[in-house]
Amino acid sequence: MKVTVVGTGYVGLVTGACLAQVGNQVLCVDVDADKVARLQTGDVPIHEPDLPAMVQEGIAGGRLRFTTEVAEGITHGDFLFIAVGTPPDEDGSADLRHVLAVAGDIGRHLQRPVTVINKSTVPVGTAQKVRARIAAVLQDRAADIVFDVVSNPEFLKEGAAVADFMKPDRIIIGVDNVAAAERMRVLYAPFNRNHDRLIIMDPPSAELTKYAANVMLATKISLMNELAGLAERMGADIEQVRRGIGADPRIGYAFIYPGCGYGGSCFPKDVRALEYSARQYDFDAPLLAAVEKVNDRQKGLLEQKVVRALGEDLTGKTIAVWGLAFKPNTDDMREAPSRVLMEALWRRGAQVQAYDPVAMEEARRIYGGEPALRLCSDPYMACEGAEALVICTEWQQFRSPDFVRMRSLLRQPLIVDGRNIYDPAVVRAEGFAYHAIGRP
């Protein structure tokens, strides 16, 4: 099948590469000429396990191509995916500018019947807006071309995006006619062999399903973080509590880790966007506001713990930071807790020595000119002469470090662990002062 994917970010590139992997002819379109130039040579600009090999295989096999030519893109595909960003506007609403720009492009260049598939995370009613925009532009051209608009939100996780796309938990298809649903079933058949993962519903329900999933997950995290705050004050250990509640199958162990707050490009913006939508419908949704408020407070916790140990004024002091990405296995630093921490430390006059296994280039892009940041090529180098080590991301390689070496490098044996990756008894036996989340 001929597929066009507009937008080659985390979602678009993974979608394009995976659809090419199973034999489709895929053309990916992006307005970012530098990104397209890199992708044309097989150079994948993001860190995502298995993605570079898949992209290179697709290119070599002639099934995957990249272009900045939107007209070429629109005329190529029978399926046109919209996978552009929907960043938060100042008021928290999802900014649909890019999505509707692509809808306009489709209207301008469409030559034959197609299925337009919206993969971006968008508020309820967007499928309708996309349809209206395409129809209006077609009408201006006096072109009578039929097309369907399908809502197909994406649930991949950064860091496991390829695996998630190839073996999805579910494929949500929001459609208003049976023929379009059948076409989607055929397109997704290669990813739907083991058992039927397609859940077909109306477009508004599909659009809300995406927000509902992210808000549910964000709520789990904020609730655990609120409980961690209580545990810390009451002399309980949230990690023991976590194991205790996870044993109940109605609760389960998944996604109930306390920590220094959620980040990334999805949870923060999607919670805010749903809050905004609730206001548009004049519906009071206090839980959503609370989830966000708890998370904002949580992101400030690491700074507080450092200040409690080292004092308010950190002028001339150096702090080591391990982990810059918002979670392991990605280089994405959007809304990462590490950023809130480092910016707070800089305001207090501290120097930061940071290490991340893959996000160093991204850190350089964001904070290149920051004199108080030293990016270190090795985690131990980051500890050299530092008053404390703060862990912001639970990378596997931080789990069993050489504590003796760390202690000899740090000026003070102090660890602030934002992800609770160590056993407090072990770390303290190694001679460290250890402050974690929700642990006595």
Pair 63, 18: CB distance under 8 Å: no
Active site residue 266: yes
- Find out whether 393 is annotated in a ligand binding site: no
Q: Check the annotation: does 167 bind a ligand.
A: no
Residue number closest to ligand NAD, CB atom: 9
- Residue 335 CB, nearest approach to ligand NAD (Å): 12
Minimum CB distance to ligand NAD, residue 332 (Å) = 7
User: Per the annotation, does 288 bind a ligand?
Assistant: no
Tell the smallest beta-carbon distance from residue 79 to ligand NAD (Å): 16
**Which residues partner with 115 through β-bridges?**
79, 148
Closest distance of CB 101 from ligand NAD, Å? 4
Answer for the pair 52, 45: CB distance below 8 angstroms, yes or no. no
Among the listed residues 18, 28, 260, 266, the single catalytic one is: 266
Q: 171-174 and 25-29 as β-strands: parallel, antiparallel, unpaired?
A: unpaired
Distances in whole angstroms, Cα of residue 80 to Cα of each of 94, 270, 410: 21, 24, 54
**Residues 6+ away with beta carbon under 8 Å from 269:** 86, 87, 88, 94, 335
Cβ contacts of 313 within 8 Å, gap of 6 or more: 348, 349
* Residue 411, marked binder: no
Please tell me whether 259 is known to bind a ligand: yes
Q: Both ends of the chain: CA-CA distance in Å? A: 58
Query: Cβ of residue 151: shortest distance to ligand NAD, in angstroms?
Result: 12
Q: Kindly tell me which of 17 and 314 has the beta carbon lying closer to ligand NAD.
A: 17
Query: How large is the greatest C-alpha to C-alpha distance in the chain, in angstroms?
Result: 77
Could you give the 3-state DSSP secondary structure of residue 305? helix
Four-CA torsion 249, 253, 254, 258, nearest 10 degrees: 140
152 CB burial (10 A radius; 0-12, 13-18, 19+): buried
Which one, 101 or 135, has the nearer CB to ligand NAD? 101
- Whichever of 266 and 363 has its CB closer to ligand NAD, that residue is 266
Tokens of 407: 């202690």
Beta bridge partners of 147: 114
Do 330 and 48 meet the contact criterion of CB atoms below 8 Å apart?
Answer: yes
**86 versus 225: smaller Cβ distance to ligand NAD:** 86
Q: According to the annotation, is 58 in a ligand binding site?
A: no
Name which of 174 and 438 has its Cβ closer to ligand NAD: 174
In the complex with ligand NAD, the residue whose CB is nearer, 328 or 424, is 328
Nearest-approach distance from CB 7 to ligand NAD, in angstroms: 3
Binding region for ligand NAD (CB under 6 A): 6-12, 29-32, 35, 83-86, 98, 101-102, 120-121, 154, 156, 158, 265-266
Check whether 261 is labelled as a binding-site residue. no
Is 121 annotated for ligand binding?
yes
With beta carbons less than 8 A apart as the criterion, state whether 312 and 345 touch: no
Q: Taking CA 382 as the corner, what is the angle to CA 370 and CA 255, rounded to the nearest 5 degrees?
A: 90
Cα–Cα distance for residue pair 224/256, rounded to 1 Å: 6
Q: Please say which residue, 29 or 175, places its beta carbon nearer to ligand NAD.
A: 29
- Could you tell me which of 54, 57, 77 has the C-alpha nearest to residue 67? 77
Nearest one of 81, 124, 87 to 105, comparing CA atoms: 81
Task: Tell me the closest approach of the beta carbon of residue 93 to ligand NAD, in angstroms.
Answer: 13
Q: Are 228 and 438 in contact (CB under 8 A)?
A: yes
Query: What is the token pair recorded at 384?
Result: 């050299």
- Smallest gap from Cβ 288 to ligand NAD, in A, equals 17
Q: What amino acid is encoded at 11 in this protein?
A: V
CA dihedral 56, 61, 63, 64 (to 10 degrees): 20
Query: Is 367 labelled a binding residue?
Result: no
255 is an annotated ligand-binding site residue? yes
The token pair at 360 is: 């160093």
Residue 273 phi/psi, 5-degree rounding, is -65, -35
Residue with smaller CB distance to ligand NAD, 122 or 354: 122
Binding-site sequence positions for substrate: 155-158, 210, 255-259, 263, 327
Binding-site sequence positions: 30, 35, 86, 121, 155-158, 210, 255-259, 263, 269, 327, 334
Catalytic residues: 266
Binding-site sequence positions for NAD(+): 30, 35, 86, 121, 158, 269, 334
